[in-house]
Amino acid sequence: MNALQKYLSYFVKIGVEKTSSTYSERLEVALQDGKLILNSKNANYSFASLHRVFQQVFQRIKIDQKPPKKMLVLGCGAGSIPSIIYNELQLDVEMDAVEIDEKVVELGNKYFGLDEFQKLTVIIDDAANYIKNTGAKYDLIAVDIFEGLNVPKEFLNQPFFEHLKTNLNNEGQLLLNFVAYNYEAKEEVSAIEQRLNHVFGNVETFKLQSINRVFYSIKKG
C-alpha cells in the first residue's frame, strides 16, 4: 500500500482483492483507516471490529497477567487473535488455530503475515470435527466461528460445550464470540448463557462494540 492509498483509506474503503470460496460467497481484503482488513459479504472477519472485540476481551480477562501456555482458536480467520497475542501483547503462547476455509488462510498468509508466527499452528478443518477428535488440552479456547454474522447452531449447543470442557485444563478459560444483531439473536443470548452455565457452572457475558456478546466461562476442578 502506498502513502496516498493509506491516506485515502481514512475517507473511503479501498478494495484490494475480492474473491469467493466454498464457504463464503464473498471475501474481500480492503484498506480501511490505514489498515488492511478482511470482510465477508456482511461482516468483518479480521482486523476491524472483530479485532477490537478481542483486544477488549483480552484486556477484560487480564490475559497478560497470567498468559495461557497453550491456546486454541476455533475460526482462525486472517489472524487478528494471533496478531493481538504475538504483536501487540508480545505473549509467549503456543497456539493452534482451526479454520475451515483454506481461502481465508491463503488471504491471511498473503496480506496479514499469518504464516510468520513461529508459535502458531494453523489447521484446516471443521472446528466441530477438530474438537471431537483432538486429544489436546488447552488453557484457553476462543470460539470465533461465523458464517457471515451467524454462529452456526452446532457451535452453540450443549454437546459442543461439553467437548470444549473436555479439551480444557482445570482453570482453563473459554471465550465464545456471538453477534446479537437482530431480535432473534438477542433473544438467544440468555439461552446460550444458560447452556454454558449448565456445563461450566459459571458464565459472564461481555457486551462489546454494541452488538458483540462474548461469553466467558472457566472450567473449575
Binding site for ligand SAM (CB under 6 A): 23, 45-46, 50, 73, 75-81, 98-101, 104, 126-128, 144-147
Asked whether 154 and 160 are in contact (CB, 8 A), the reply is: yes
Q: How far is the CB of 112 from ligand SAM (least distance, A)?
A: 8
Asked whether 76 and 104 are in contact (CB, 8 A), the reply is: yes
Q: How far is the CB of 214 from ligand SAM (least distance, A)?
A: 12
Name the residue with the smallest CB distance to ligand SAM. Answer: 77
Question: Can you say how many angstroms the Cα of residue 173 is from the centroid of all Cα atoms in its chain?
Answer: 14
Asked whether 101 and 23 are in contact (CB, 8 A), the reply is: yes
Complex with ligand SAM: residue 75 or 172, whichever CB lies closer: 75
Complex with ligand SAM: residue 197 or 209, whichever CB lies closer: 209
Q: How far is the CB of 50 from ligand SAM (least distance, A)?
A: 5
Q: How far is the CB of 86 from ligand SAM (least distance, A)?
A: 12
E-state strands within the chain:
14-19, 27-32, 35-40, 44-46, 70-74, 94-99, 120-124, 138-143, 168-179, 204-208, 212-218
Residue 144 DSSP label: -
Q: How far is the CB of 2 from ligand SAM (least distance, A)?
A: 25
Complex with ligand SAM: residue 95 or 203, whichever CB lies closer: 95
Alpha helices in 83-121 (DSSP H): 102-112
Q: How far is the CB of 7 from ligand SAM (least distance, A)?
A: 25
Complex with ligand SAM: residue 125 or 188, whichever CB lies closer: 125
Residue at grid coordinates 484490494: 16
Residue at grid coordinates 513461529: 118
Q: How far is the CB of 79 from ligand SAM (least distance, A)?
A: 5
Complex with ligand SAM: residue 207 or 220, whichever CB lies closer: 207
Complex with ligand SAM: residue 111 or 200, whichever CB lies closer: 111
Cβ contacts of 178 within 8 Å, gap of 6 or more: 151, 156, 185, 188, 189, 192, 212, 213, 214, 215
Residue 84 DSSP label: I
DSSP per residue over 210-221, as a string? TTEEEEEEE---
Complex with ligand SAM: residue 8 or 123, whichever CB lies closer: 123
